């Protein structure tokens, strides 16, 4: 390893930590040493972002730094964990100090917001890629999982759906045509690149949610993970899906049809909202709890369906992949043909 690597680490990534942060030993040794409280378990998640696959080569460095951490913190939120520590492995084609400064500014803007400490990692030379491993704490036995949804549970989603997928569409086609109004285009791109992990909501879900997952690959695909693990099916009410003001405005302007919005919301991915189930007898108490949390502005949750008995959904009106699946989509109580796909790296 060259001296340049150590200079990069010291200048851009090394920050002070102490035992108050749970860090016995941080950056500077071969391993970080962390103190985990005796009544807690450690939640660990790792994601890689590769240039040309997960982000455009010309993406703003600040936004890339922000999102590379955000997608990992979203995984911790889905488990009901409190984010604590993160390690970062970054591969750089060259040393670009302006780019590095902006990347770190975005990364630490989100880390500081949630008091997450960078405790180690690696820097190498090669095609641009970022791998982040985030660690959090959850009280022993209280982690949220995908496997405990039960028949009759109410399905909720946080935030709004579809904006991230539309942001990707804007980025892909922006050089060819202006798809939407300028302000709405920017709102969609912001949703794609400045993902907000729902860590505040995650803490409230513990004790209420029977299952939980974050929506990274699309509502249909991520919901299917819960259904497969829990051995049940679901009915999703399309008129209850939450949409942002930007999407509603584009529908009003006839730039988007309702069926197009459904496809983006159900299959688009990049929402990083929480999808969770709550037993019917706990829904009122959960909503009451949300109403007491006025200091947070990111707790909006919406009922979008219910968990049903495991079955193959078959209907004469349905012809695509949704015709034989574990998810029934309805609109005004009538079955609707929504081609359920979702993101898969190898398809």
Detail the residues annotated as belonging to a binding site for Mg(2+). 30, 45-47, 75, 122, 214, 217
Instruction: Give 153: exposed, middle or buried? Use CB within 10 Å, 0-12, 13-18, 19+.
Output: buried
Interatomic CA distance for residues 144 and 212, integer angstroms: 6
Which residues make up each annotated binding site for ATP?
A: 121-122, 146, 216
DSSP classification of residue 13: I
Q: Distance between CA 70 and CA 67 in Å, rounded?
A: 5
In angstroms, how far apart are the furthest CA atoms of the chain?
67
Going from the C-alpha of 233 to that of each of 65, 75, 184, 292, the distances in angstroms are 37, 23, 35, 32
In which element (H, E) is residue 285 found? helix 283-291
Q: How far apart are CA 99 and CA 95, in angstroms?
A: 8
Strands 117-125 and 82-92: parallel
What is the spatial distance between Cα 271 and Cα 110, in angstroms, rounded to a whole number? 17
**Separation CA 136–CA 41 (nearest Å):** 8
């Amino acid at each position: 390893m060259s001296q340049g690597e150590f200079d990069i680490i010291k200048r851009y990534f090394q920050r002070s930590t102490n035992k108050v942060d749970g860090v016995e030993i941080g950056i500077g040794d071969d391993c970080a040493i962390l103190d985990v409280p005796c009544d807690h378990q450690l939640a660990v998640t790792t994601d890689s972002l590769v240039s040309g696959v997960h982000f455009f080569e010309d993406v703003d460095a600040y936004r890339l730094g922000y999102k590379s951490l955000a997608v990992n913190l979203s995984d911790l939120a889905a488990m009901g964990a409190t984010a604590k520590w993160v390690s970062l492995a970054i591969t750089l084609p060259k040393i670009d100090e302006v780019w590095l400064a902006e990347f770190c500014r975005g990364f630490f803007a989100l880390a500081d917001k949630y008091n997450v400490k960078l405790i180690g990692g690696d820097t190498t030379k090669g095609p641009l890629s970022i791998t982040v491993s985030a660690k959090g704490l959850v009280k022993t036995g209280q982690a949220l999982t995908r496997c405990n949804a039960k028949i009759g549970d109410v399905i909720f989603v946080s935030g709004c759906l579809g904006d991230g997928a539309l942001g990707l569409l804007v980025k892909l086609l922006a050089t060819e045509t202006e798809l939407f109004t300028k302000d709405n285009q920017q709102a969609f791109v912001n949703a794609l690149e400045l993902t907000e992990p729902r860590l505040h909501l995650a803490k409230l879900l513990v004790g209420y949610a029977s299952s939980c997952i974050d929506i990274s690959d699309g509502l249909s695909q991520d919901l299917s993970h819960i259904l497969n693990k829990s051995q049940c099916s679901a009915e999703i009410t399309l008129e209850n899906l939450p949409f942002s003001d930007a999407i509603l405005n584009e529908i009003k302007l006839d730039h988007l049809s309702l069926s197009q919005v459904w496809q983006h919301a159900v299959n688009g991915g990049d929402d990083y909202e929480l999808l969770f189930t709550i037993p019917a007898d706990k829904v009122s108490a959960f909503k009451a709890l949300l109403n007491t949390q006025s200091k947070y502005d990111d707790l909006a949750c919406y009922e979008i369906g219910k968990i049903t008995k495991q079955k193959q959904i078959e209907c004469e009106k349905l012809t695509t992949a949704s015709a034989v699946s574990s998810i029934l989509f309805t609109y005004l109580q009538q079955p609707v043909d929504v081609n359920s796909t979702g993101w898969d790296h190898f398809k």
